Amino acid sequence: MSEITTSTDILTEEVTHEHSHVHRDDFGAKIGMWLFLFTELLLFGGLFILYMAYRVQYSEAFHFAAKELNIGLGTLNTIVLLTSSLTMALSIAALQRHKKQLSLFLLGSTIFMALLFMVNKYFEWSAKFSHGIFPGSADLMDRDKGEIVFFGMYYAMTGLHGLHVIIGVILLSFMYVFVKRGSVNPDNYIKLENSGLYWHLVDLIWIFLFPLFYLLH
Amino acid sequence: MSNVNEHKSHVGYGRYVLIWLILLSLTIATVAVAGIDLGKLTLSVALLIAAIKSALVINIFMHIKFDDKIFKVFLLVALMTMLVVFVLTSTDIFFR
């Protein structure tokens, strides 16, 4: 009987202990996130090297093919992503100041702009598809080798980036629920912060993709 | 130690908005510059603007400027590694 009481006591003690000193390693979590971002950097870095090599080899074809990309849509998407990066940073700042509703609104805006980016991308790619420009299409295969390579790189790199945007939407939607439920709160928001880091990386990659593909003429 | 964020001074809304405005201006600048024929300089100018924009995003939005020194060291090592790979590959591409 006494044994049971003791173990319950210890259990109760442990629970209270856990509550007073929750073991968390935000610093470690952040380092882990940055390490992941570096692997992302290498992933895209490799593609950028490939782009550089092909651009040197097929410089004229690249300039010619790039004229077919829609600068207006590209610029719009750049502005959309930059603004979503702003609302992401502001959302964290709002949560730090205990403004939950404002934080949720800003996080929602970030998700909305990420979706807007994908909608623009959809229209952009649809237009290309209707002109017969997509990987392996008969129209494209008739073209100069350099142009085939250009559009190959274009679809591979903006496609991989688009995939990251979609993953970002899913990730940030989870964060929205976490903030709403309060498991991500002003005292514990490392998840939101790390998601923000990921989102800024997606923005960073686009900062380079945009001039390298759209502004080539 | 359990919560590193408590030791950091929080960045104000105004600063973020200011950085965003600079980023938008640089985007407009890079589109405008692309319309002018600068010959071989075009790519350099575009990459320079992209580099400035990246520095702003990394320093302010990603808090590298306000974070622990170890993050700066990490980032520097990663970027230097990338640079070395780029330079070595370039020598192969340009002097083959």
Q: Chain A: nearest CA to B20, how far in angstroms? A: 6
First to last CA, chain A: 85
Q: What is the mean pLDDT of residues A19-42?
A: 87
CATH number belonging to domain A24-214? 1.20.120.80
Q: Using the beta-carbon criterion (under 8 Å), do B89 and A49 form an inter-chain contact? A: yes
Q: What percent of chain B has pLDDT over 90?
A: 68
Q: What is the mean pLDDT of residues A7-23?
A: 52
Integer Cα distance of A202 and A123 in angstroms: 20
Task: For chain B, say whether A215 makes contact (Cβ under 8 Å).
Answer: yes
Q: What is the mean pLDDT of residues A197-216?
A: 95
Task: Dig out the tokens for B7 from the structure.
Answer: 């030791």
- For residue A22, the model assigns a pLDDT of 66
- The helix-helix angle for A59-66 and A145-181 (nearest 10°) equals 60
**A:141-160 residues touching chain B, CB 8 A cutoff:** none
**pTM of the complete model beyond 0.95:** no
Give the nearest chain B residue to A38 (CA atoms): B78
**Tens digits of residue pLDDT in A88-119:** 999 999 999 999 999 999 999 999 999 999 99
Complex confidence, ipTM: 0.89
Q: What is the dihedral of CA B20, B22, B23, B24, to 10 degrees?
A: 90
Q: What is the dihedral of CA A93, A96, A98, A102, to 10 degrees?
A: 20
Integer Cα distance of B40 and A170 in angstroms: 41
Picking from B12, B20, B54, the nearest residue to A207 by CB comes out as B54
In order, the DSSP letters of chain A are -HHHHHHHHHHHHHHHHHHHS----HHHHHHHHHHHHHHHHHHHHHHHHHHHHHHHHTHHHHHHHHTTS-HHHHHHHHHHHHHHHHHHHHHHHHHHTT-HHHHHHHHHHHHHHHHHHHHHHHHHHHHHHHTT-STT-HHHHTS-HHHHHHHHHHHHHHHHHHHHHHHHHHHHHHHHHHHHHTSSBTTB-HHHHHHHHHHHHHHHHHHHHHHHHHS--
- For residue A23, the model assigns a pLDDT of 78
Q: What percent of chain A has pLDDT over 70?
A: 89
**Tens digits of residue pLDDT in B25-73:** 999 999 998 878 777 788 889 999 999 999 999 999 999 999 999 999 9
Task: Dig out the tokens for A132 from the structure.
Answer: 């017969």
Strongest mean pLDDT among A22-26, A106-110, B1-5: A106-110
- For residue B6, the model assigns a pLDDT of 46
- For the cut 70, the answer to whether the pLDDT of residue A161 exceeds it is yes
Estimate to the nearest angstrom the gap between the alpha carbon of B4 and the chain centroid.
Answer: 25
Residue with tokens 């700066």: B72
- For the cut 90, the answer to whether the pLDDT of residue A139 exceeds it is no
Q: Using the beta-carbon criterion (under 8 Å), do B82 and A93 form an inter-chain contact? A: no
- For the cut 90, the answer to whether the pLDDT of residue B7 exceeds it is no
Integer Cα distance of A187 and A176 in angstroms: 16
Picking from A27, A41, A201, the nearest residue to B4 by CB comes out as A27
Phi, psi of B10 (to 5 degrees): -75, 145
- For residue A217, the model assigns a pLDDT of 67
